[in-house]
C-alpha cells in the first residue's frame, strides 16, 4: 500500500471505506437492512409540523386560553395529526417527522427565510434537501403568519441595543435565537412512570393549590397544560397501535404478523402505563423522546441518560422469566439505535446555518459509572451496549463511557477495543472527577453519583436540571476590540468600554489588564441578555410535556412547571 502522504483523495476515501468496513461487526439481516436504509437516506426538510402548528394557531381553539394551555393544545393537535411512519421490519415505532431523516421545523421559535431554505438545499456539506412544494408552503403560509411573532423576533425586539451591537459584531453567537430550552437528560422517572400515574399526580397537585395564593391562576394553568400533553402522547401511541393492528391484518408473513400484533399491544400499554418488560421500556422511552423533540427543538437533544442502569431491571427480570434472550435484547437495542440515527438535528438559521455542518443531534447514551450508594454500576447491559455500538457504527446516538476506579478493568479493556478501530466512539470520561465536579456545584452525593454527560461534554444531574446553552464567546474578537480601545474596526461602532490606546501601553501586563476589563464588560452584557431571554422563554414558550419528566421542582414536589421557578 502506498504511504499515506502519497495517496490521492479518491484513494484516501477508498481506504477509509475499507477500514470502516473492516471495523463493522456482523449484524443480523433485519438490523443490517434497517441500518442500510438509515445510513443511505437523504436528509430532507419536512414542512408537516410547521404547517400543522400554523393551522392550530390560526384556529379558534387558541383564543382565550393562557399561553401554557395554548402550548399544550398545540402539542395535542400535532400528535393527533402528524404522520405515523413505520420503517419496514422495525421493532420500535415513533418518528419526529414524516419518514427516516425527514426533519421538521419550528416556526414558533424561529422562521427560516426563503434564503435559508436555498442555502440548506444547495450547500455542499451536509445539505437538507428542500423540495419545491415545501418552499411554496413556507412562502405562502409559514413566513407570512409567523413573521414578527416567533420567539426569535420577540427576543431581538426585547434585548438592549448594546447587546445587539455586540452580537452583530461577532462577539458572541446566541443559540436561543433558534432553539428552546430542553438540552437535558432523563432520569429514573422516565422509566418508572406511566402517563396515567402522572395525570393522577397532576390531579392531586390541583387539589392542593391554595386559591388565596397570588400565583394560583398561573400554577393551575400550568397543571392544566401538563394534563393535556399527557393525554396527547397517549393519543399518539393509540394511533400507532391502531395502525400496527391494521398492518398485522394485511401481513402475510406469520412471524412479522405476530411482531406487529405484539408491537400494537405494547403501544396500548405504554406510555399510558409504566413499562413492565425490556421491549416495553425501550418503546416507552422512545415515545417520550419523540414527544419532547416534537414539542420543541432542544438541540443538543434530550437523552436517555444512564441507559444501562435504567434498563437493567427489565433485562434481568425478562431473562430470568424466559421472556428474553441476550441476542433478542441486542436486536431490540440495535433497532432502538437506528431510531436515533433517523432523527437528524433540526436545521439552523443565521451564522450557524452557514457554519454548523452536522446532522448530529447529540443524544448521548451513558454507561458505566457508579450507583447511588457508590458501588460499581457496570452490569451485563453495559457490555451489551458496547457490543451494539461496535456493531452499529452509526452517527447517532452518541455514547459516553463513564469510568470509575471502582469499575472492573475488563469494562475498560472492552471499551478500548471498541474505540480501537478509530470510529471516534465512544468517548471516555473520568466519572470520579465528574462526581467531584457535581459536589462542588452543590449537588447531593446521591445525585452526583447519578450524574452523567449529555450533548457534547456537559455534565449534570440527570432528570433534575436543564442546561440552557446560550452561545459561543469570541475571545479573539474581544482582543481585537481591546486593541482598538473599545471600537469594532469592522462596523466602526463603539461596542466595548474605553480601555486606553494600546500603542501607549508599555508592558504586556497593561494590555492584559485592558483585555480582562473588556472581557468582563462583554461577559456581564451577555449574562444580562441571558436573563432576558430565559424570562421570555418561560413566559412565551413553556414546555409542559418536557416538564412532566423533570424531578425535584421545589414548589411542586416532583413536577417542574416552568424552566424559571414559579
- List, by residue number, the catalytic residues: 456, 458
β-sheet bridge partners, residue 81: none
Task: In whole angstroms, give the CA distance from residue 53 to residue 104.
Answer: 11
List, in order, residues 6 or more apart from 198 with CB less than 8 Å away.
226, 230, 548
Under DSSP, the state recorded for 502 is: G
Length of the chain: 566
Of 180, 183, 187, 182, the C-alpha closest to 461 is 187
Q: Cα angle at 473 between 468 and 479, to 5 degrees?
A: 165
Q: Which set of grid coordinates corresponds to residue 492?
A: 466602526
β-sheet bridge partners, residue 452: 460
What does each C-alpha distance from 114 to 45, 111, 348 come to in angstroms?
13, 10, 13
- Strands annotated E in 311-457: 364-368, 398-403, 428-430, 452-454
What does each C-alpha distance from 38 to 134, 204, 511 come to in angstroms?
22, 44, 53
Q: Which of 508-513's residues contact partners 24+ apart within 8 Å by CB, and which partners?
A: 511/482
Buried b (16+ CB within 10 A) or exposed e, 50-70: bbbbbebbeeeebeebbbbbb
Locate cell 445539505: which residue?
Answer: 127
Task: In whole angstroms, give the CA distance from residue 186 to residue 189.
Answer: 7
Of 271, 199, 281, 208, the C-alpha closest to 238 is 271
What does each C-alpha distance from 492 to 98, 473, 487 come to in angstroms?
47, 20, 6
The sign one gets for the Cα dihedral 64, 68, 73, 74 is positive
Of 365, 343, 226, the C-alpha closest to 290 is 343
Ramachandran quadrant class, 264 (left: phi over 0; alpha: psi -120 to 50; beta: rest):
alpha
Task: In whole angstroms, give the CA distance from residue 299 to residue 480.
Answer: 31
Q: Which set of grid coordinates corresponds to residue 115?
A: 434564503
Under DSSP, the state recorded for 471 is: -
Amino acid at each position: 500500500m502506498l504511504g499515506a502522504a502519497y495517496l490521492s483523495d479518491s484513494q484516501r476515501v477508498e481506504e477509509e471505506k475499507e477500514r470502516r468496513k473492516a471495523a463493522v461487526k456482523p449484524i443480523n439481516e433485519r438490523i443490517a437492512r434497517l441500518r442500510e436504509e438509515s445510513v443511505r437516506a437523504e436528509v430532507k426538510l419536512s414542512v408537516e409540523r410547521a404547517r400543522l402548528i400554523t393551522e392550530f394557531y390560526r384556529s379558534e381553539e387558541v383564543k382565550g386560553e393562557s399561553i401554557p394551555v395554548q402550548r399544550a393544545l398545540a402539542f395535542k393537535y400535532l400528535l393527533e395529526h402528524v404522520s405515523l411512519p413505520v420503517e419496514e421490519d422495525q421493532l420500535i415505532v415513533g418518528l419526529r417527522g414524516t419518514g427516516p431523516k425527514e426533519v421538521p421545523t419550528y416556526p414558533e421559535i424561529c422562521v427560516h427565510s426563503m434564503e435559508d431554505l436555498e442555502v440548506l438545499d444547495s450547500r455542499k456539506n451536509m445539505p437538507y434537501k428542500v423540495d419545491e412544494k415545501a418552499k411554496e408552503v413556507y412562502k405562502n403560509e409559514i413566513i407570512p403568519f409567523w413573521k414578527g411573532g416567533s420567539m426569535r423576533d420577540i427576543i431581538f425586539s426585547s434585548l438592549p441595543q448594546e447587546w445587539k451591537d455586540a452580537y452583530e459584531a461577532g462577539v458572541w453567537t446566541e443559540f436561543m435565537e433558534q432553539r428552546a430550552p430542553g438540552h437535558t437528560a432523563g432520569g429514573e422517572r422516565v422509566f418508572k412512570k406511566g402517563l396515567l400515574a402522572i395525570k393522577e399526580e397532576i390531579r392531586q397537585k390541583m387539589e392542593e393549590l391554595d386559591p388565596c395564593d397570588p400565583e394560583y391562576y398561573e400554577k393551575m394553568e400550568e397543571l392544566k397544560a401538563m394534563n393535556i400533553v399527557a393525554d396527547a402522547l397517549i393519543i399518539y401511541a393509540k394511533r400507532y397501535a391502531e395502525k400496527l393492528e391494521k398492518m398485522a391484518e394485511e401481513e402475510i408473513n406469520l412471524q412479522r404478523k405476530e411482531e406487529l400484533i405484539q408491537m400494537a399491544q405494547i403501544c396500548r400499554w405504554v406510555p399510558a402505563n409504566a413499562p413492565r418488560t425490556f421491549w416495553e421500556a425501550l418503546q416507552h422511552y422512545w415515545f417520550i423522546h419523540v414527544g419532547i423533540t416534537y414539542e420543541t427543538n432542544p438541540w443538543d437533544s434530550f437523552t436517555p441518560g444512564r441507559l444501562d442502569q435504567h434498563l437493567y431491571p427489565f433485562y434481568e427480570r425478562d431473562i430470568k422469566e424466559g421472556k428474553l434472550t441476550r441476542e433478542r435484547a441486542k436486536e431490540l437495542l440495535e433497532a432502538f439505535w437506528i431510531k436515533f440515527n433517523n432523527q437528524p438535528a433540526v436545521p439552523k438559521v443565521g451564522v450557524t446555518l452557514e457554519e454548523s455542518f452536522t446532522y448530529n443531534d447529540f443524544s448521548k447514551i451513558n454507561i458505566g459509572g457508579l450507583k447511588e450508594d457508590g458501588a460499581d454500576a457496570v452490569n451485563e447491559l453495559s457490555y451489551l451496549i458496547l457490543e451494539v455500538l461496535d456493531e452499529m457504527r452509526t452517527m447517532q446516538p452518541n455514547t459516553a463511557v463513564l469510568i470509575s476506579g471502582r469499575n472492573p478493568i475488563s469494562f475498560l479493556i472492552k471499551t478500548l477495543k471498541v474505540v480501537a478501530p478509530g470510529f471516534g466512539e465512544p468517548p471516555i470520561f473520568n466519572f470520579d472527577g465528574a462526581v467531584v465536579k457535581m459536589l462542588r456545584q452543590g449537588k447531593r452525593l446521591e445525585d452526583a453519583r447519578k450524574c452523567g454527560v449529555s450533548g457534547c461534554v456537559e455534565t449534570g444531574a440527570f432528570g433534575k436540571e436543564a442546561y440552557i446553552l446560550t452561545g459561543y464567546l469570541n475571545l479573539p474578537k474581544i482582543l481585537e476590540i481591546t486593541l482598538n480601545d473599545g471600537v469594532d474596526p469592522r462596523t466602526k461602532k463603539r461596542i466595548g468600554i474605553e480601555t486606553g490606546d494600546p500603542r501607549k501601553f508599555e508592558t504586556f501586563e497593561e494590555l492584559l489588564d485592558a483585555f480582562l476589563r473588556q472581557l468582563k464588560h462583554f461577559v456581564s452584557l451577555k449574562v444580562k441578555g441571558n436573563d432576558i431571554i430565559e424570562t421570555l422563554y418561560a413566559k412565551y414558550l413553556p414546555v409542559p410535556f418536557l416538564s412532566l419528566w423533570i424531578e425535584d421542582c421545589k414548589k411542586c414536589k416532583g413536577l417542574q412547571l416552568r424552566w424559571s421557578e414559579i
